Amino acid sequence: MKRIAVALFLLLGVTLTNQSALSEAHTFKAEKGQFTLDGKPFQVISGEIHYARIPRAY
């Protein structure tokens, strides 16, 4: 599970870096127990939906 989380965060970092490479370089790091973007604290917010748990009415 920990490997999956690390892989996702690395992918996010690569995505952020690649998208901003055209205009300006950003840095995304995991340091001191938190994520930082350009040296400022950055919070990753996510969620999921279990399709099988959604009632048919919805």
Does the pLDDT value for residue 20 go beyond 50?
A: no
Does 36 fall in a domain? yes
- Work out whether strand 28-31 and strand 40-42 pair parallel, antiparallel, or are unpaired: unpaired
Domain that residue 44 falls in: 2-53
Sign of CA dihedral 24, 33, 9, 35: negative
Tell me whether residue 58 is in a domain: no
Give the Å distances, CA to CA, from 16 to 10, 32, 41, 52, 57. Answer: 10, 20, 15, 32, 38
**Percent of the chain's residues with pLDDT above 70:** 78
Do the domain assignments include residue 14?
yes
- What is the number of structural domains in the chain? 1
Average pLDDT of the chain?
81
pLDDT for the residue 18: 53
Residue 47 in domain: yes
Query: How many Å from the N-terminal Cα to the C-terminal Cα in the chain?
Result: 31
Q: Which pLDDT score, from 0 to 100, does residue 1 have?
A: 66
Specify if 35 maps to a domain. yes
Whether 22 shows a pLDDT value over 60: the answer reads no
**pLDDT value at 16 more than 60:** no
